[in-house]
Chain A
Amino acid sequence: MPPWLSLMLESLPSLLWACLLFTIPLTLLSFALGLGVGFVAALVRLFAPAPLALIVHFYVWVFRGTPLLVQLFLIFYGLPSVGIVLDAFPAAVIGFTLNVGAYSSEIIRAVLSSVPKGQWEAAYSIGMTWSQAMRRTILPQAGRIAVPPLSNTFISLVKDTSLAAAITVPELFRAGQRIVATTYEPLILYVEVALIYLVVSSVLSGLQGRLEKRLSRYGGYLEAAS
């Protein structure tokens, strides 16, 4: 067995462990919470009175307009100066959640408003309340359109969690860095780390395709007759 391969095999368990214990939970947790934040932010921007919508607009503007790495540093290294001390993992979850929230709110806002106004009226005409119409009529249709763009956000997030290494979260990339520090084999180890990210994103892309297919079973949008 060539030495590069045995090094890869030897380091694989600790890399996978870091992936399983930190990268994946960090991704899932931040994405789920981020979607929640994004949904609420989208609703506020679409339906709430102007001052509230303006606050949310400001939040989206800040988090989309600044680097994720800077956001993480501010939360983990900056906040202690005002008395807020967070562990690395929760700090990362907060950072990624707010970031995903900002991006996904724009996606959710767009897909919600892409459902024709006539669908709201049809729901109201059979007696639904606003929340029934939202839940039963608008969300199922918006959800379908949202799958491709939200999947992009999700797959980007998997890769972006490597930034958490910079605030000491022992996730996949940081585990790789540690092994490099003792073996002095950056090429082999970083190729291996890259391959693991590649496998994870490919699996997710595959799941996205299956989800899209499942959701598209009812055929195209009804053409709005003139």
Chain B
Amino acid sequence: MIALEEIDKSFDDLHVLKGTSLTVREGGVTALIGPSGSGKSTLLRCVNLLEIPQSGRVRIDDAMIAFTPGGKVDRKAVLALRRKTGMVFQNFQLFPHLTALENVMEGLLTVLRWDRGRARQRAEDLLEKVGMSEKADAWPSSLSGGQQQRVAIARALAPSPKVLLCDEPTSALDPELAVEVVEVLAQLAREGTTMLMATHDLRLAASIASEVVFLDGGVVVESGPATQLFGAPQRNRTKQFVSTLTAQERPPA
């Protein structure tokens, strides 16, 4: 079980998350949608504690950390929790000094201390899964954005995380390159990978998410199965936001 409970997070004077709670269903894809500045990226980054909330609880399976304002943060607990997650960034953030294959092997070698042969095997398998076998020895700087993101997905999956966190995985890509990344994510979804994805790409959310959480102003406005949230939203604010999706789909007059 992956859950965020009553998360409060401020940056200086900016109160981003206001007692926000979220549960991620295992084996499914949960999409966090909402307008810019709604706090969806911040909420996502609270799961692997790249952002440390001022208060609230973060739970992944039996590991739980409770944060209190001014309380001390247990680094070991943070690390243990974070190691149950993998993350895909908007800007890929591959390690530029390592090849595609080495990028995927890095966590296995450095963090999990696997031997090279075993790490190499696992990395090759993952690169094949994302369709990047042929570019295993390429430097990231020689890959297109879509290719870099696919390698980044393989890197995030390497240590077999409980949940794959995706922060705007297609936003830095032009539509053509975004398609290849969406295909990989859809494939992972079909295989039952637990994913939590922050995105303002409603098409991406509609096509692969099973659950959708609509966030606005740091609070959850509405959440539920994707079909319900997109098909029959209950709240006016949600209707208004989701209507931008239907507007996109309507062919130009």
User: Which residues of A line the B interface, CB within 8 A?
Assistant: 116, 118-119, 121-129, 132, 136-137, 140-141, 144, 217-222, 224-226
Question: Which of A118, A132, A144 is the one whose CB lies under 8 Å from B93?
Answer: A118
Q: Give chain A nearest CB distance to B71 CB in angstroms.
A: 19
Bound CA span A220–B107, Å:
23
Q: Give chain B nearest CB distance to A142 CB in angstroms.
A: 10
CB of B50 within 8 A of CB of A119, answer: no
Q: Give chain B nearest CB distance to A225 CB in angstroms.
A: 4
Q: Count of chain B residues with Cβ under 8 Å from any Cβ of A?
A: 34
CB of B111 within 8 A of CB of A132, answer: yes
Question: Which of A125, A136, A141, A226 is the one whose CB lies under 8 Å from B96?
Answer: A141
CB of A122 within 8 A of CB of B172, answer: no
**What total of A-B pairs shows CB separation below 8 Å?**
82
User: Which residues of B line the A interface, CB within 8 A?
Assistant: 48, 50, 79, 82-83, 85-87, 89-98, 106-107, 110-112, 139-142, 145, 148, 155-156, 158-159, 172
User: Which chain A positions have C-beta within 8 A of B140?
Assistant: 218, 222
CB of A221 within 8 A of CB of B96, answer: yes
Given contacts A128-B107, A218-B98, A222-B141, 7 further A-B contacts (CB under 8 A): A121-B93, A122-B93, A125-B48, A129-B79, A132-B110, A140-B97, A218-B97
CB of A224 within 8 A of CB of B111, answer: no
Q: Which residue of B lies closest to A125 (CB)?
A: B87
User: Which chain B positions have C-beta within 8 A of A125?
Assistant: 48, 50, 82, 85-87, 89, 156
Q: Give chain B nearest CB distance to A102 CB in angstroms.
A: 28
CB of B90 within 8 A of CB of A127, answer: no
Q: Give chain B nearest CB distance to A223 CB in angstroms.
A: 8
CB of A128 within 8 A of CB of B111, answer: yes
Q: Which residue of A lies closest to B94 (CB)?
A: A222
- 22 A-B pairs (CB sep. < 8 Å): A119-B95, A121-B89, A121-B93, A124-B48, A124-B50, A125-B48, A125-B85, A125-B89, A126-B111, A126-B158, A127-B79, A127-B107, A127-B111, A141-B97, A218-B140, A219-B139, A219-B141, A219-B142, A220-B141, A221-B141, A222-B94, A225-B92
User: Which chain A positions have C-beta within 8 A of B82?
Assistant: 124-125, 127
Bound CA span A43–B101, Å:
31
Known: A124-B82, A127-B79. A225 touches B106 (CB 8 A): no
Known: A132-B110, A218-B141, A222-B140. A126 touches B155 (CB 8 A): yes
User: Which chain A positions have C-beta within 8 A of B93?
Assistant: 116, 118-119, 121-122
User: Which chain B positions have C-beta within 8 A of A221?
Assistant: 96, 141
CB of A222 within 8 A of CB of B92, answer: yes
Q: Give chain A nearest CB distance to B222 CB in angstroms.
A: 29
Known: A121-B89, A122-B89, A141-B96. A225 touches B159 (CB 8 A): no
Question: Which of A118, A121, A132, A225 is the one whose CB lies under 8 Å from B145?
Answer: A225
User: Which chain A positions have C-beta within 8 A of B89?
Assistant: 118, 121-122, 125
User: Which chain A positions have C-beta within 8 A of B91?
Assistant: 118, 224-225
Question: Which of A126, A217, A220, A226 is the one whose CB lies under 8 Å from B172?
Answer: A226
Bound CA span A123–B152, Å:
12
User: Which chain A positions have C-beta within 8 A of B92?
Assistant: 222, 225
Bound CA span A6–B248, Å:
88
User: Which chain A positions have C-beta within 8 A of B112?
Assistant: 127
CB of B97 within 8 A of CB of A126, answer: no
Q: Which of A124, A125, A226 has the most CB of B within 10 A?
A: A125
